[in-house]
Structure 1
């Protein structure tokens, strides 16, 4: 490291410390725990209403799982993050913060299975060509059997396996869904709740695929063909938001952990935060938490009732790591990302960051691949040394026949992400209901975002929960837990449906929720 770089780092650290000490013992109208999309959205929306806040983030940069990491001027996502939404308020937010710093990116993703590439979403002719006539015929028969069974004796599916089999037939489920899903979650598909499939699998069907193949797209709600993307990655959005908050009197503190949340009955009074060896108490009128809900409950003082802590222990997470490879090839494949369904490969998904934005790669004669591995903290993959992970990723990139030759991988870096995905196992719902019921008793605490609500939300849904939380702080009444609970993928939603759903009084939405559950 150059001496000038060391001096700059020390000056930056000293500046952060001075700012941190300046807020010691201060009282803020709103205290926000977490500097991901939900936390920063809450801070920004409050700022527009003239309400000051303070944000604490334990990482070295903002954005959470939507941040952009850098390595030798190569920029890469923690997974890919498209900027697409049907929620008008979220779209307006993005444009307000970044303006014209978006590019339009063509959407292309495929499935790799048994040495062949399949379009995603699945298309009729491509699938027939790759599978062959006989396997395709059996998939069609299986699909028709599933539809006939549903007509005769329909039962609401409880597991991921049942949900997909009911809609596509068991053969297509085994071919395209089972191996990849179990690679992602590390548990059998019959142990995963149907809720996850309902939220995450695009609204496609074999019937629609046939109609579209024969007559062209007949449905205005088909999946998007392109999306917006910040020219330097999603972290650009949240770093810009951070700068706005810092310059407008709502400071964002990095490297700062929340170690205690002090409550008095159903009222939060203060939080204790730690930065390095220094610890301070911050008081506030309202508190917004985006930290994992299990961590929040374990930091409450006095602690919650025993049954609530027991429920918190029952919630599970899936961790994740990405190996970013610098490859000495200018062009490898046209996709933004590829799903690797073949079980003989450990990699689950591959991002080609140059195809998201050429500006992510400083040397246009090279390519940066993000090899994504789904794992759990403490397992063999998670504990594998970085050098071995880079060798594994390089070897798999070559064996997948993506255009990477054995000597093309020049360098690589490993980023590990804890608690990347809330797990929807067979018991999560009952645990979450206990936690939700307890959290709703607090008068000045709201939990928002993916981990704050233990819900596999997309970025826009996480932002919407934060926007509604701000409205609640300002006197409105919105039930945040109704966001993204409908059994449809977010690309199928319309602005009118979202607007109508969130204009309903909380009492009406609660009745709707109860009737749906019944």
Structure 2
């Protein structure tokens, strides 16, 4: 080793929301930790990237939660640097923009009488004769909305996001992300205002310089409290002795460093964690780790020479003829994200898998593709207005809920439970498609476990509280909503 061993009471692998939160909670109790982050900045998929002064998210990240302990931390760390942002988004489908959440009369008028009739009859048919099983997303959604509405507003976008047929996506993903929905509830809500669903989120908090601002503040506070955050630090080996982790070996600026600790918390992809253990886990555990799949993500940020383009924060692109899945208008999240008020920065989001044709495209070709698509969508008048662009690739953005993931994850979970001093947290640490507040909650509970409490992190309720429902009433704030089937 090129340097002496560094020892901390707790070693945290990963500087995303979960890892930073765990270290921060410990630091408040005067328990030192060290955070090891592979990237050049903190925040993970919730970070904010910069390009020539333009700031952009890796997908939009609203700050809204009903998890009070998380909300308290947000305000404690960021305080008055939040702004309130009105929420506006639409769905592009079949050449038309639909209000989102769907408004019944807006949707029906744009779908036309024939399509609307098909949706209604399809719904009545499935209610009279429901599918006998709900093993995959297609069956789950069809039983609640009918085949026609599933095909119209679920199937294309969902398969664009995940890159596999809806029949290969497990129903528990739908139950987690599209919770408590039915067409009957939506119609009753629209016609008679008898909906009991939760209030639609009409506005949300947002750090004035993007979500990365939050995690940079966490980083600053941890460094001040003697819990350093090391960037450019790639964990390459995690050593164990029997049922205890003993040390982490990481590469930092071309040098190998080792970190020992009494407790270890990891938010790195759980499959990667198992592959880096030394001695290696049993063969069946490694096989399960190799069996977990992920979906990758790219954002092509385009700088447009126009002060205003469209009012939405983001737009979902459901039509299959376009490769782009979602478009962010960062100026509408916060004007401070764009350094020149006469210009606009759009984030063209592409869902892909490492090694596929889209992922392997050269940056210049991706910028050309995104530029062509945004003009063809009618959101930018002509190509001459697009002055610049850049590409960010995000590995392992989404854990995939395919037909085998549950059995693989159970093997890994059972094996990890045998370690006395290791906890996994966050989206990738637990292979759960959760949001940043639930990732933070796992970090909080992991820290509390180290401080003497006893929480099962796997019981954190990812279905908790605020997933908006199917359709909104035209004149009311309370709503039932049809989610676009995979919001980051």
TM-score (norm 2): 0.93
1:70 to 50, 64, 68: 50
Larger RCO (CA within 8 A; separation ≥ 6): 2
- 1:146 aligned onto 2:126: yes
Structure 2 contact 434–462 (Cα < 8 Å) conserved: no
Q: Specify which of 228, 233, 246 is matched with residue 269 of structure 1.
A: 246
Number of the residue aligned with 2:351: 374
After the TM superposition, which residues 4-403 of structure 1 pair with which residues of structure 2 at under 5 Å, given as runs? 24-150=4-130, 155=132, 157-201=134-178, 203-216=180-193, 218-219=195-196, 221-403=198-380
Query: Counterpart of 1:460?
Result: 437
Q: Unaligned stretches of 5+ in structure 1?
A: 1-19, 494-518
- Listed as ranges, the matches of 1:427-446 within 5 Å are 427-446=404-423
Cα 1:32–1:71, aligned 2, differ >3 Å: closer, same or farther?
A: same
Answer with 214-223 or 387-396: which moved more. Answer: 214-223
**In structure 1, what is the Cα distance between the partners aligned to 2:145 and 2:431?**
28
Q: What are structure 2's unaligned runs of at least 5 residues?
A: 470-488
What is the alpha-carbon distance in structure 2 between the residues aligned to residue 156 and residue 267 of structure 1?
A: 43
Paired residues for 1:462-477 under 5 Å: 462-477=439-454
Q: CA deviation at 1:217?
A: 7.2
Per-residue CA shift, 1:15-61, capped at 9, x if unaligned?
Answer: xxxxx988x41211100000000000001110111100000000000
- Structure-2 change in CA distance of 1:173 and 1:76 (3 Å): same
Whether the 8 Å CA contact 1:31–1:284 is kept in 2: the answer is: yes
Q: Distance in 1 between matches of 2:353 and 2:194?
A: 40
Instruction: Quote the Cα distance in structure 2 between the aligned partners of 1:467 and 1:289.
Output: 13
Separation of aligned partners in 1, 2:110 and 2:465: 27
1:396-426 CA-to-partner distances (Å, cap 9, x unmatched) read 0000011432211000000000000000000
The alpha-carbon deviation at position 213 of structure 1 amounts to 2.6
Q: Paired residue for 2:459, among 475, 482, 492?
A: 482
Pairwise CA RMSD: 1.7
Structure with greater helix share of residues:
1
8 Å contact 2:306–2:343 — kept in the other structure? yes
Q: Distance in 2 between matches of 1:375 and 1:90?
A: 31
Are 1:450 and 2:431 an aligned pair? no
In structure 1, how many angstroms separate the alpha carbons of the residues matched to 2:286 and 2:197? 46
Q: How far apart in 2 are the matches of 1:205 and 1:346?
A: 29
Task: Tell me how far apart the structure 1 counterparts of residues 320 and 468 of structure 2 sit (CA, whole Å).
Answer: 30
Change in Cα spacing, 1:204 to 1:358, as seen in structure 2 (3 Å) is farther
Q: Please give the secondary structure, in 2, of the residue aligned with 1:100.
A: helix
CA deviation digits over 1:410-461, x for unaligned, max 9? 0000000000000000000000000000000100000000000011010011
Alpha-carbon spacing, 1:485–1:98, altered in 2? closer, same or farther (3 Å): closer
* 8 Å contact from structure 2 (residues 177, 467) kept in 1: no
Give the match for residue 467 of structure 2.
491
Give 1:142 deviation, angstroms.
Answer: 1.1
Distance in 1 of aligned mates of 2:258 and 2:203: 46
The separation in 1 between residues aligned to 2:172 and 2:334, in whole angstroms, is 33
Paired with 1:180 and 1:217, the residues of 2 have a C-alpha distance of 30
User: Whole-Å Cα distance in 1 between the matches of residues 384 and 64 of structure 2?
Assistant: 37
Distance in 1 of aligned mates of 2:29 and 2:458 = 24
Q: Is the 8 A contact 1:121 1:204 kept in 2?
A: no
Question: 1:327 and 1:141 mapped to 2: Cα distance?
Answer: 44
CA displacement 1:172-211 (0-9 Å, x = unmatched)? 0001111111111111110011121122225443223323
Shift of 1:492: 6.2
- Per the alignment, in what secondary structure is the counterpart of residue 462 of structure 1? helix
Give the secondary-structure state (helix, strand or coil) at the position aligned to 2:80.
Answer: coil
Greater CA drift, 134-143 or 67-76: 134-143
**Do the aligned partners of 1:80 and 1:351 also contact (CA within 8 Å) in 2?**
yes
Report the Cα distance in structure 2 between the residues aligned to 1:218 and 1:298, rounded to whole angstroms: 48
Q: Distance in 1 between matches of 2:194 and 2:384?
A: 43
Q: Counterpart in 2 of 1:17?
A: none
Does the 8 Å CA contact 1:199/1:489 hold for their aligned counterparts? no
1:110 and 1:489 map into 2 onto residues whose CA distance is 23
- How far does the alpha carbon of each residue in 1:148-188 deviate from its partner, in whole angstroms, 9 at most, with x for none? 234xxx74511011111111111000011111111111111
Hey, what's the Cα distance between the residues in 1 that align with 2:143 and 2:381? 39
